[in-house]
Structure 1
Amino acid sequence: MAVKRFESLERKLLANPQLQTLYKEFMDEYLALGHMSIAPTPGHYFVPHHAIYKADDGDAKIRVVFDASARCSTGPSLNSCLLPGKKLQQDIIDVLTRFRIHQHAFTADICKMYRQIQVLPEYRKYQHILWRSSPHDQLVEYQLNTVTYGVTCAPFLAIRVLHAIAETDCTDADQVRDALLYQTYVDDICVGSDSVESALELQSSLQFILAKSGLELKKWSSNTPDILSSVPASDRVCTPLPFNDSEDGGTKVLGLQWNPNNDFFSCALRFQPSPTFTKRGVLSLVARIFDPLGLFGPTVFWAKCIMQRTWQLGLEWDDPLPPDIHADWSSFLSDLPTLSTIRVARHFGTFKQSACYLMGFCDASQLGYAAVVYVLVANSSGDQPAILVGSKTKLALMKPLSIPRLELNAALLLARWLGRIKQTLDPHIKIVGTYGWTDSMIVLSWLTVPHTSFKVYVSNRIHQIRTILPDCQWSHIESTNNPADCASRGVMPSELTKLSLYWQGPAILRANPSTWIRLVAPIPLCSLPEVLPVALTTQINRQDWPEEWFNRFSSYDRMIRVTTLMHRFINHCRRTKFEPSPTLCLNVTEVDCATRSIIRESQSIHFCTLLSELSTGRRVSSKPLARLAPFVTMSESSESVVAFVIALLSYGCKHPILIAKRSHLALLICRRWHRLTWPLRPPCHDITYFATILDRRHSFGCT
């Protein structure tokens, strides 16, 4: 496998002399630095390698990729035998957010970070490659001596080394320790300080501590010239911005374009020379807009909406777009370069332990929902505007949701976004207040009522909002003043450049904080949607009951009649509106229901063990009862009683209901039928009479 892959690579290099020269220079450097050497012993796994080649504006770049996921002919791939390790790197959103705290900021790159970390000699036999500079040379087997990018555990190993440096070498340098643990994304360090002196000290300490472990910092950039004064010109980043209308230099910070001279962020776009108007082309361009903080969220949301429309129509990946979507997408592409002209301030305007407010806005539409967050320095003179931290947008599901539910999802999205920003900024600046605004009175009213009052969907989300932000103060804002309104509907790039409401926040943020909370009367609970129906229950202590509550009756007929009337009264009380009975006479259904309720109560007292055994499927413990083969039967009203089988009878009398012979109910039944049948005096051994002593609707058996 490795030989075939190398021969394919060699043919590709011979077809492109410039690529061949760059590839050879890379491998020669790899060998000269000692990062690889001739293998002393045969390898156990050979890693294929190939080139990623870019030639932009005459500046050709090459990156060699080692494919440790390639399966060999005799076994699995190297990556399938390795574990990736724990995720140690900080999230890119948190790193960028912390990078915006400091007034004096700088970035640096750890040069060849992976290749500065040695692999133990006993493991190098799994990192062998094949290489030769010319097809006329003999193919040579090399071993890679360092951590190799392309191996699944390489990120973990590299970042774990940085953490080890922070734990062992930074005992007296807290700033360096925090920089390595929290302000480093793989090999990119993004840090700063509130003063030039402190920033210079941090820079010097970083260089010294990392140099002790053989790590060198390159690609320096800063918004403060004094920080770069001691850095050689060859170690600085001074590439021009990729926009023709830009006069200043810039660099990329974790994918965002940063102009250090003017200290602002912009959107780094990579345009396709000839875009394709298919679903594949739409997704390809949407994925190229890298915006981790959501600074350009309203425009990205617009593009996502077009992408969703292609899915709703069921288009295949390479099907041409319908005319309406084609027109919208073409208009978006022609307007997209405007997005690169937007400038977003990097610095929040905060200093160490500054007191700040976090303010968030949320909104929803049928297309989706969004949350926008700002930060404002407290006790400022009023001339300092609120700074946009970022936004979060989500498309609505294809399954339609009501507007109140979408607005609630927007509030939950805002709570999560605010909670994350607060957790990231809290160690560095003091958050004195967290505020949330929505234009939905239903959501505000939901948040003032215990979450248990609503149905599951609403209840769970209200509970999450209160758990994430227990101290957040929620208030109402008009839709026309809500900066999240545009983010929940999407706007074209040219429109986004003019949206001062989105970039600076509403006018209320420039007013006194005491006026931010507007007291609005909530909607009454009875008028809110998603409210659970009220269920009134009464708990009765059975220990206070007599053995049988109907012991007071001496007549079976009177007991049945009174119980039937009680059931009729209860059923009337449960109805929402009064409906008088068509007749005052008791019907057969009502009498049957009352009879079964009395039987069920008597059985629950005298046969509680039997009921438990039958309901759980256990074996009947009482031998006399077991001989009767009792079972639980259900009536049309879902009332269960215990019956047993008498096989000699007809179907109507085959399953008599079991009655305890010492119960008061058995006494009343016997009295009634003794009185009714007194002149007949049937023989006691007549089993038919025994099974049908009540009537044709109910038969009883006493035991």
Structure 2
Amino acid sequence: MKDGHYYLDIPFTDSTSRLPNNWKLAERRLQSLGKRLAKDKELHQKYKQGIQELIDKGYAERVSQDQINQPEGYEWYLPHHNVVHPDKPDKFRIVFDCAAEYEGTSLNKQVLQGPDLTNNLIGVLLRFREKPVAIMGDIEGMFLQVKVPNKHRDVLRFLWWKDGQIGAELEVFRMTVHLFGGVWSPSCASFALRRTAEDYMQDFAPKVIDSVNKDFYVDDYLGSMDSDDEAEQTKVSLSELLFKGGFHLTKWSSNRKKVIQSVPPEDRAKKVKNLDLDRDTLPVERALGTHWDTETDMFGIKIHVCPYVLQAKKIFQKECKRGKDWDDDIDPVNSQKWKTWLMELPELEKLKVPRCLITEGFCEVTQRQLHHFGDASEDAYGVVSYLRIENAEKKVHCALVMAKSS
């Protein structure tokens, strides 16, 4: 570690000697980008600001003229473009194409992916359902907080026009950090996160260290606690721990207004940043692909991401078994079933599942049981698991844990 950040090598397969000089590819891609930016002044301005932000934050640095020519195989130029997430149209991101090929190879082809250190998605979500008070946060620019040593930065070069003026003299920059799009980056970033917990485990409670290792899915943190006070303390401890590794844990949300009030406004999730917590209703947040209504503490479904596809699969199977060509009309019976399926699909948005497996106030649990059911036919199979708990007063509560069909 140096300057408050971890420095990790890019894990090349053997050496960089097989990387040809791909300046021509990067220049051609930049010219293509220039044509697009020239037609959209607003996009051009955002792109200029995006490049300048990379430089201002130290994520990128200019390559001096005397450093331009490196030994063969020790430089690589990354084409770049912008992407817009359909659910986050206001967020502008510049992506470097580590998979771009030149003379039969690419940067990603020359680098080891590394071990998969990403936690199991289902495991993170299930732990998120364990206790009544839930909190959620996000590591800001996780990959960009892990530095690349000087010796490997020249394979992360990119071209940009002087002062961002399209068609002006080309300048060479290089990234100083690991990239979104690099096949190796998820492993490096997750390693740095876990190394932070390991290096400072003596300074924090074991449950905080355990949370770093189990409750993150890449850069998303999801945790559940027994009380508001525990949630507030966990938020503070996790933030302090991750800061020591160069990470900023932000975009906090919760199903408890008291917990949100303990978070500085600048570190709250966008939807709760400007809420009047004394009067306003808490919003619906996205939690690893699910829709979480933080006011009612319920999970819901939006039909454009829903998993309700079994009936559609069965119709497709039946059509395929008929040995028809793609342009043949669908069987009338299957056609009606398809129309019915489409009509019923929006009804799924009415389905709500409590986030917390145990009803609040259900105290002194004396017995916990998992009950699993499964069934199958020639067409499909389905399995479902329930949690059954009993308290000292012999009251029983059952909750859906998860289900799957295929």
**Normalized against structure 1, the TM-score is what?**
0.48
| Matched letter for residue 35 of structure 1 | Y
Matching residue of 2:6 = none
Counterpart amino acid of residue 188 in structure 2: L
Equivalence for 1:155: 186
Give ranges in structure 2 of 5+ residues lacking alignment. 1-24, 69-73, 273-280
Structure 1 position 340, deviation (Å): 1.6
Say yes or no: does 1:5 pair with 2:29: yes
Equivalent AA in structure 2 for residue 158 of structure 1: A
Change in CA separation of 1:237 and 1:138 when aligned onto 2, cut-off 3 Å: same
Contact 1:37/1:142 (<8 A) preserved: yes
Structure 2 equivalent of residue 235 of structure 1: 267
- Of 123, 136, 140, 1:94 maps to 123
Question: Which residue number in structure 1 is paired with residue 341 of structure 2?
Answer: 332
Q: Report how many residues are paired.
A: 361
SS of corresponding position for 1:201: helix
Larger deviation: 133-142 or 199-208? 133-142
**Cα RMSD, aligned residues only:** 2.5
- The aligned amino acid for 1:202 is T
Shift of 1:203: 1.1
Q: Which runs of 5+ in 1 are unaligned?
A: 241-246, 271-287, 292-298, 395-703
In structure 2, the partner of 1:263 is 297
Deviation string, structure 1 residues 373-429 (Cα, Å, up to 9, x no partner): 0002233646553100111212xxxxxxxxxxxxxxxxxxxxxxxxxxxxxxxxxxx
Larger gyration radius, structure 1 or structure 2: 1
Matching residue of 2:218: 186
Q: Assess if the C-alpha contact under 8 Å between 1:238 and 1:250 holds in 2.
A: no
Cα distance, 1:319 vs structure 2: 6.9
- Counterpart in 1 of 2:371? 359
Distance change >3 Å, CA 332–CA 144, structure 1 → 2: same
Deviation at 1:45, TM superposition (A): 0.8
Hey, what does 1:33 align to over in structure 2?
57
- Quote how far apart the aligned CAs of 1:357 are: 0.7
Equivalent of 2:318, from 276, 301, 309?
309
- What amino acid does structure 2 have at the position aligned with 1:169? Y
| 1:76 pairs with 2:105 | yes
Structure number with higher relative contact order (C-alpha < 8 Å, ≥ 6 residues apart): 2
SS of equivalent residue, structure 1 residue 86: coil
* 2:350 is the counterpart of 1:341: yes
Q: Distance in 1 between matches of 2:168 and 2:128?
A: 51
Q: Which amino acid aligns with 1:335?
A: E
Identity level (%): 30
| Structure 2 CA distance for partners of 1:55 and 1:183, relative to 1, 3 Å | closer
* Deviation at residue 149 of structure 1 after TM alignment: 0.9
Query: How far 1:304 sits from its partner (Å)?
Result: 2.5
- 1:39-84: CA deviation from partner (whole Å, max 9, x where unpaired): 2323611111122235779x543332221111124x6211111111
> In the aligned structure 1, how far is the partner of 2:39 from the partner of 2:314?
43
Q: TM-score, normalised by structure 2?
A: 0.82
Q: Tell me if the contact between 1:103 and 1:192 (Cα under 8 Å) persists in the aligned partners.
A: yes
CA-CA distance at 1:320 after TM superposition:
6.4
Partner of 2:84: 53
Contact 2:192 2:245 (C-alpha < 8 Å) held by counterparts: no
Aligned residue in 1 for 2:205: 173
Does the CA contact (< 8 Å) of 1:223 and 1:261 recur in 2?
yes
Moved more, 172-181 or 230-239: 230-239
Q: Is the 8 A contact 1:238 1:249 kept in 2?
A: no
Alpha-carbon displacement from aligned partner over 1:532-584 (angstroms, at most 9, x marks no partner): xxxxxxxxxxxxxxxxxxxxxxxxxxxxxxxxxxxxxxxxxxxxxxxxxxxxx
Greater per-residue helix proportion = 1
Does structure 1 residue 137 correspond to structure 2 residue 161? no
- The partner residue of 1:205 within 213, 230, 237 is 237
Specify whether residues 32 and 89 from structure 1 end up closer, same or farther in structure 2 by C-alpha distance, changes over 3 A only.
Answer: same
Distance in 1, matches of 2:149 and 2:193, equals 18
Supply the distance in 2 between the matched residues of 1:231 and 1:122 (Cα, whole angstroms).
40
Change (3 A) 1:77 1:385: same
The CA distance in 2 between the partners of 1:320 and 1:252, in whole Å, is 39
Deviates more, 1:179-188 or 1:223-232: 223-232
Aligned to 2:386: 374
